[in-house]
Structure 1
Amino acid sequence: MSDSLLLCTDLDRTLLPNGDAPESPRARELFSLLCAQPLVTVVYVTGRDAARVEAARQQYGLPVPDYVVADVGSTIMADDGVRWQAWDDHIAGDWHGLGSVGVQEIVGALPGLARQDDSRQGRFKSSYEVGTPGDLQAVATAVAERLRDEGLIAAVVASHDEVADVGLIDVLPGSAGKGPAIEFLRRHLGLGSADTVFAGDSGNDLDVLAGPLPAVLVANAASVVREQAVREAAILGHADLLYLAGGGVLGLNGNYAAGILEGVLHYHPAWAKVLEEAT
């Protein structure tokens, strides 16, 4: 482990306090303080596209990230906003030259699936809603089977938007996703797994929450996500790499940015000095 920290966080209802749970008043201020440290590299890892990331950053007064992993891990950008062509090249072959429109032509007519508007689509992300959340897993399975029958290598990411109470399905190239994109970036930066912390809250974070990188589930995450993350991490042998924020650290409640900070201090307690001096 080095002194460097690759801090990767989801946005909606992880860093952004846009859920029903209360936010600790100073949590985002302390998060920004941590992000300003020279040894910290900040990555926003989100389902949003670049424009919606920037809108959220300005709305909530967030620090400018060093990198953005957008579109559920199908896009990587540096702080100049330019897509990483190397990542595009890495994942493109899974869809055999098709883009998101081509994927929609294959799966769009499946029962229970409604295409999201154009602002939610990406070059390598085809996104849908499932109006009845109870049908989400069955519809996701049908999507995966249809794509497999067409010879495409695809990742089908299912999650539940608790605020809108709808199911969400994102179809990505099989090599894409939040976890693979973080790994690609981590290796590019020459940092170790132990130098990395990921924070998330929802179903589309599960590949990282249950994966081989140190991860934290913020306290405001839904109980069903918590149970699934704990179960999958145990099955994969990564139980010791999943921290469940519960509050009480730095006098904060563990929700949103407070949970991110709690997780960082769990894995990297040396950063406590910087944060405690500001409290």
Structure 2
Amino acid sequence: MHIVHVAVGGCLTLPNVRYGITDDTGGHIAYILGAAAAQARRPEVSRVDIVTRAFDDPTLGADHARAVQPAGDRLRILRLRTSNGAYLAKEALAAERPALSDAFTALIAGMPRPPDVIHAHFADAAAIVRAAAAHFDIPVVYTPHSLGIDKASCSAGRPPAALIRRIALERTALRVADAVIVSSRDEAERQVEGYGIDVAGRTHRVAPGVTRRDGPPGTAQARALIDPALSDPERPMILAIARPVRKKNLAALVRAYLGSPTLGARANLVILAGQRGAGIAQTPETAGVIAELEELAQQAPGRIALPERHGPDIVAQAYRLAARRGGVFVNPALHEPFGLTLLEAAKAGLPVVATRNGGPGDILGTLRNGTLVDPGDPVAIGAAITGLLDDRYAWRAAAEAGQTRLRAFDWDVWADRAARIYADLRRPVRSFAAPHALLASDIDGTLTGCRTGATAFRDWAATRDLPFIVATGRCISEARAVLARWDLPAPDAFITAVGTELHLPDRRGRMERCERYAAAISEDWDRAAVLACLAEAGARMQAPVEQRRWKLACLGDASEAARLRAVLDCAGLAARAVPSHGRLIDILAPRAGKGAAIRAYAAGIGLDARRCVVAGDSGNDIDMLTMGGTGIVVGNALPELDHLTPGPDLLRTRAHHAGGVLEGLAAAGLIGPRAAAEVAA
């Protein structure tokens, strides 16, 4: 497989990236380099090319004028040259897009054969590759990294014209991409869907890996850079590393520090905010942020360090130095799409305080190495930092948890997931002529939970002669992530959000929401009125990311679900209240549900609903288990299914998880005698 990554902004080189040397030389470059290097290590990959823009600027480094820069046995950087040889910031690239598009098309035309996939980073790259991708029939994967729609939400008043144009470019990139790979649930379920187009079925959440910026051992270089600015450098070190732009909210961190007598008395604040000084060009925004930080720092002489420059070796040492001094890493961004710096801090054993807005929630939810805060509340930021500094048990627990759990963020794992996504773009749509049955299964606890059973199910699915669909409470990007984590097969369709969304493949195999089903379940559903009624009833809502168009997610047990159902009935509002797992309640559009979605899918392939075989383990599976086909209740099912009476149409298995699904298929006569015997064994 030949993979081509494309990113035209910033100073992209290997091995020593000068992060922060320009406003656009940030985390996306670490992402691309980590991803490409991992892909180049895979045996099925013949070559990985990173295509970027060539420019001549000796102050930024001679590498950027090189047309070809080898970076390993199967990895290289290729640079597109146009008539404009100057370095251009992201905002100035629009005029160059036509010339860059022509140069990219010529590059692809000159290759022995077209690459198998193009992976575009940011919307400008997606626009540049479009002509070549169409001409040579190459699938395009798009990773947005940072979406303008969130930057617009942080702007006071009407967003500037340049940002409006960027959002339009991003909307086009999302609309035409064959697949979209993002890093966090917030990106997948809120930001991407905020563009108002149906892209959920093509969106995949794949956690990136830890950027390998180890540098020389020790901390000597970091000490030499940081300590001269501090009167007592051995005190605990509060560290922040970010580009000096408004959305990174660095001034709020300084104000939190200045506003806390405790922090000022016992800790130092160190901020590595890009590069500045002679020979470094700054935008009005970055110059303004730096000026504000320097003015604030004057209020605490000898306690705040704002170094002008730092190399890649310094960054790794700064994390280690802060950890050795018992400090804390802080990301106070107004919104952070993911947060690679949080992974780097965890690698060094440095606990974190991070914004609750965006990707850090995913990271800290996995690593458990710190605290999430409201970035608009300097008092809360200061309190969270103080809490970790004062509680050495909590500090050590966070430091150890971050390092222990960091294996969840691995570039080789990312590369494996990406390979699956790339392969699916070329896989033909599976068709079943006059199917005699179908299998619809829940995922969590039903197909997952036992590796042996999952492997057996995958092997069965590879040779099946009937459609297989999943019916889950998760959104489609999260469902995909779980299936991949358990090495389970991709289904022929997805029923997600507790049966309120049905995703079907188009002629190219891309999953699209079924608008006919969406229209059907929209009848009698007044989401705004239901939400207002739940608020008045004091319902405890789940996180915003769990709320969907036809589903509102609450917390509570079966009795709370009954109360909410009664409240909605009294208000004359049509809705279903579905409890599950003893703690979750889903309020659904009245015509929606897993059973309704399965019937809709079955009707679309000409199958009677009575020929549907369904499998589940919890309360939100009840309506499909009792819809009139054959239900399989796996052996590990929750007690909330105990009231379902076994019979010819409802099978209770002794085997748990995926093994139970296979046992049920055997009992239903959908697995032959030999396979059934193997399942029983």
The equivalences for 1:59-138 within 5 A come to 59-79=485-505, 80-95=510-525, 98-99=526-527, 101-111=528-538, 113-130=539-556, 133=557, 136-137=558-559
Q: TM-score, normalised by structure 2?
A: 0.34
1:270 to 1:140, Cα distance in 2 relative to 1, 3 A:
closer
Alpha-carbon contact 1:35-1:41 (below 8 Å) kept: no
Equivalent residue letter for 2:468: V
- Structure 2: how far apart are the matches of 1:226 and 1:115? 24
Contact 2:469 2:494 survives alignment (8 Å): yes
For residues 261-276 of structure 1, what are the structure 2 equivalents within 5 Å?
A: 261-274=662-675
Contact 2:561 2:579 (C-alpha < 8 Å) held by counterparts = yes
Equivalent pair of 2:663/2:676 in contact (CA under 8 Å): no
Give matches, 1:150-229, under 5 Å.
150-161=571-582, 167-222=583-638, 224-229=639-644
Q: 1:69 to 1:140 in 2, by over 3 A?
A: same
- The DSSP-based 3-state class of the residue aligned with 2:579 is strand
- Cα pair distance change 1:205/1:143, threshold 3 Å: same
Q: Which has the higher contact order (CA 8 A, sep 6+)?
A: 1
The answer as to whether partners of 1:193 and 1:214 remain within 8 angstroms in 2 is no
Partners of 1:149 and 1:190 lie apart in 2 by 39
* Alpha-carbon separation, structure 2, partners of 1:37 and 1:94: 42
SS in 2 for 1:151: coil
Letter in 2 for 1:211: M
Contact 2:443 2:470 in 1 (8 A): yes
Show CA shifts across 1:77-115 (max 9, x none).
0242311000110010121xx33x54221112324x311
Across the aligned residues of Structure 1 and Structure 2, the Cα RMSD in angstroms comes to 2.2
SS state at 2:664 partner:
helix
Question: Measured at CA, do residues 179 and 3 of structure 1 come closer, stay the same or move farther in structure 2, by a change above 3 Å?
Answer: closer
Q: Which runs of 5+ in 2 are unaligned?
A: 1-433
Percent of residue pairs identical: 28
CA separation in 2, counterparts of 1:277 and 1:52?
31
Shift of 1:51: 1.4
Tell me the CA shift for residue 257 of structure 1. Answer: 0.2
Q: Distance in 1 between matches of 2:585 and 2:670?
A: 37
Whole-Å Cα distance in 1 between the matches of residues 610 and 674 of structure 2? 20
Tell me the equivalent position of 1:250: none
SS in 2 for 1:62: coil
1:15 to 435, 447, 465: 447
**2:374 aligned residue:** none
Cα distance in structure 2, aligned partners of 1:270 and 1:47: 27
Q: Distance in 2 between matches of 1:123 and 1:272?
A: 44
1:244 and 2:652 are equivalent in the alignment? yes
Provide the C-alpha distance between the structure 2 equivalents of 1:3 and 1:271, rounded to a whole number of angstroms: 17
**Equivalent of 1:43, from 462, 469, 484?**
469
Partners of 2:673 and 2:536 lie apart in 1 by 52
- Larger gyration radius, structure 1 or structure 2: 2
Q: Which amino acid aligns with 1:197?
A: V
Instruction: Tell me the SS of whatever aligns to 2:523.
Output: helix
Contact 1:15 1:257 in 2 (8 A): yes
1:187 positional shift? 1.3
Counterpart CA distance in 2 for 1:185 and 1:3 is 12
Taking the aligned partners of 2:566 and 2:498, their CA distance within structure 1 comes to 21
Q: What letter is aligned with 1:228?
A: H
- Secondary structure, in 3 states, of the residue corresponding to 1:51? helix
Q: Is residue 127–residue 171 contact of structure 1 (8 Å, CA) maintained in 2?
A: yes
Could you tell me whether the CA contact under 8 Å between 2:441 and 2:616 is conserved in 1? Answer: yes
Contact 1:114-1:129 within 8 A present in 2 as well: yes
Which secondary structure state, in structure 2, belongs to the residue aligned with residue 261 of structure 1?
helix
Q: Check whether the contact 2:458–2:487 (CA below 8 A) recurs between aligned residues.
A: no
Q: 1 CA distance for matches of 2:606 and 2:553?
A: 32
Query: Deviations along 1:10-33, whole A, 9 cap, x unmatched?
Result: 01111111xxxxx3x532122112
Which range is displaced more, 50-59 or 266-275?
A: 266-275
CA distance in 1, matches of 2:672, 2:436: 11
1:262 maps to amino acid: E
- TM (norm. structure 1) is 0.80
What is the count of residue pairs matched by the alignment? 243
Query: Is the contact between residue 159 and residue 203 of structure 1 (CA under 8 Å) also seen in structure 2?
Result: yes
Aligned in 2, Cα 1:38/1:259: closer, same or farther, shift over 3 Å?
A: closer
Query: Given the superposition, is the C-alpha separation of residues 244 and 102 from structure 1 closer, same or farther in structure 2, using an over 3 Å criterion?
Result: same
Say whether the 8 Å CA contact 1:209–1:229 is kept in structure 2: no
Q: Deviations over 1:154-207 (max 9, x none)?
A: 11111125xxxxx21111111111111111111111113453210000011111
Q: Which runs of 5+ in 1 are unaligned?
A: 18-22, 162-166, 234-238, 247-253
Q: Distance in 2 between matches of 1:216 and 1:38?
A: 18
